Homo-oligomer: A and B are copies of this chain.
């Protein structure tokens, strides 16, 4: 969805060129592009085109020549390693009609690095010190290939390695700042401010509907939505003649959007759902224990992914079978027999037992049918019960994920369980 006013005018044309056979035979999904596109979007800039070509010198050279003729900036990804199929620097030299020359400081750095590890600096390493004559060479402190920039006509090429950690490190230091500076100059000083509201428990269409009036109320505001099941994110970008004006316009739009979206908003910015849940519990000095059936440990694992989780997460009783519910949580076999393992009563007792046994502030449980087999007439596949036990008592809610895949049902259930913690109050 895009409820805004179309793409940015062509003040500055940025293209991406990815090289690598592995990007054309299904081995790898390119994540570098989406990452830098999102960074540039925050500046107010949309990438004009992306091309992916194989490790072929002629093809890469020709693509660079085409891009040089129409773009202002070209970011390349890949082809800077030490092996013979790493051809990006050589292709750029050809496209520019210059020689490859050795960059002495890089050669020295690579030689020292190899020798410090007791290895020989050979022809494949020295390849990485070869750069097009006239290029700007910038130091890579997280890998071996240096960062190369060279301007052909009006188009600046910035060569980045395909390894995501290096791609990001070099982009943040050398590429994004340069694009930002040039873009701001060409836009006559117009500034942008960007953020996103991250929501759970709200469909994408309902989220978009709730904020439909925002662009009319906030001139220059651009909205976009993004679904990352079971979450939905609302992206907001505001414009202004100064950075401060853009920021204050963004703040006003964020306030307006939060009011319309209510407690579905779990974070403003890049915080993950688990991190937001954990931060809320930590702030109130609360601890949590889980009792998981269909999620099989997924809910606890999401919390455990966040550094410092052990201040809040005490335990999860992954009681996958009826016998485990009896052994781990002390459930009454008669209750399970009467009500069924997927039932309001079992969810309630699981949450209470988790809270009591782990001596936690909150106990949360989830039990349901993940599919493809299982289910009952009352509770078909996709149904789950999630319960929250607090110092004040226990509540249970029934959810239906419809005819979703096993993966989606389990994800939906894990998010629902953690959302009980995010919105829990002691009273």
Taking CB atoms and an 8 Å cut-off, the chain A residues in 290-340 that contact chain B are 290, 292, 294-301, 303-305, 307-310, 313-321, 323-324, 327-328
A50 is an interface residue with CB less than 8 A from chain B? yes
A355 in contact (CB, < 8 A): no
A373 touches B406 (CB 8 A): no
For window 33-71 of chain A, which residues contact chain B by CB distance below 8 Å? 33-41, 46-54, 56, 59
Copies of this chain in the oligomer? 2
17 contacts between A and B (CB under 8 A): A24-B37, A25-B224, A26-B37, A26-B40, A27-B224, A28-B34, A28-B226, A29-B34, A50-B52, A290-B318, A296-B309, A300-B320, A305-B406, A307-B372, A315-B321, A316-B318, A323-B358
The reply to whether B37 and A2 form a contact with Cβ atoms under 8 Å apart is no
The answer to whether B314 touches A300, judged by C-beta atoms less than 8 angstroms apart, is no
Q: Is the pair B301, A298 in contact by a Cβ cutoff of 8 Å?
A: yes
Using A296-B309, A307-B373, A314-B320 as known contacts, list a sample of 16 further A-B pairs with CB atoms less than 8 Å apart, ordered by residue number in A.
A7-B21, A24-B49, A27-B38, A27-B224, A28-B34, A28-B226, A29-B30, A49-B51, A49-B59, A295-B301, A296-B316, A298-B301, A307-B406, A313-B320, A315-B321, A317-B318
Asked whether any CB of chain B lies closer than 8 Å to the CB of A348, the reply is no
Counting CB contacts under 8 A, is A127 at the interface? no
Query: A235 in the interface, Cβ–Cβ < 8 Å?
Result: yes
Contact assessment for A27 and B226 in the assembled complex, using a CB-CB cutoff below 8 Å? yes
CB distance from A315 to the nearest CB of B (A): 4
CA separation between A40 and B307, bound complex, in Å? 41
For the complex, what is the distance from the CA of A193 to the CA of B317, rounded to whole Å? Answer: 46
Interchain CB contact under 8 A, B304 and A235: no
Cβ-defined contact, B25 with A38, below 8 A? yes
Check if A410 sits within 8 Å of B304, measured CB to CB. Answer: yes
Bound form: Cα–Cα A305–B317 in Å: 17
Indicate if the CB atoms of A35 and B26 lie closer than 8 Å.
Answer: yes
Contact surface of A with B, Cβ cutoff 8 Å: 2, 7, 21-31, 33-41, 46-54, 56, 59, 85, 224, 226, 235, 290, 292, 294-301, 303-305, 307-310, 313-321, 323-324, 327-328, 357-359, 370-373, 406-407, 410
Say whether A296 contacts B300, CB under 8 Å: yes
Chain B residues near A308: list those with CB within 8 A: 373
Q: Are B50's CB and A54's CB within 8 A?
A: no
The residues of B that contact A59 with a CB separation of less than 8 Å are 49
A310 B320 Cβ-Cβ under 8 A: yes
Closest to A294 in B: B304
Shortest distance between the CB of A58 and any CB in chain B (Å): 12
Closest B residue to A23 by beta carbon equals: B50
Q: Which residues of B contact A2 (CB under 8 A)?
A: 21-22, 85
Given A29-B34, A297-B318, A372-B307, answer yes or no on A51-B50 (Cβ-Cβ < 8 Å): yes
Nearest CB on B from A113, distance (A): 17
Q: How far is the CA of A24 from the CA of B50 in the complex (A)?
A: 8
Q: How far is the CA of A319 from the CA of B318 in the complex (A)?
A: 10
Which 9 interchain pairs have the tightest Cβ spacing?
Answer: A296-B304, A297-B297, A26-B38, A26-B37, A297-B300, A316-B318, A315-B324, A50-B52, A297-B301
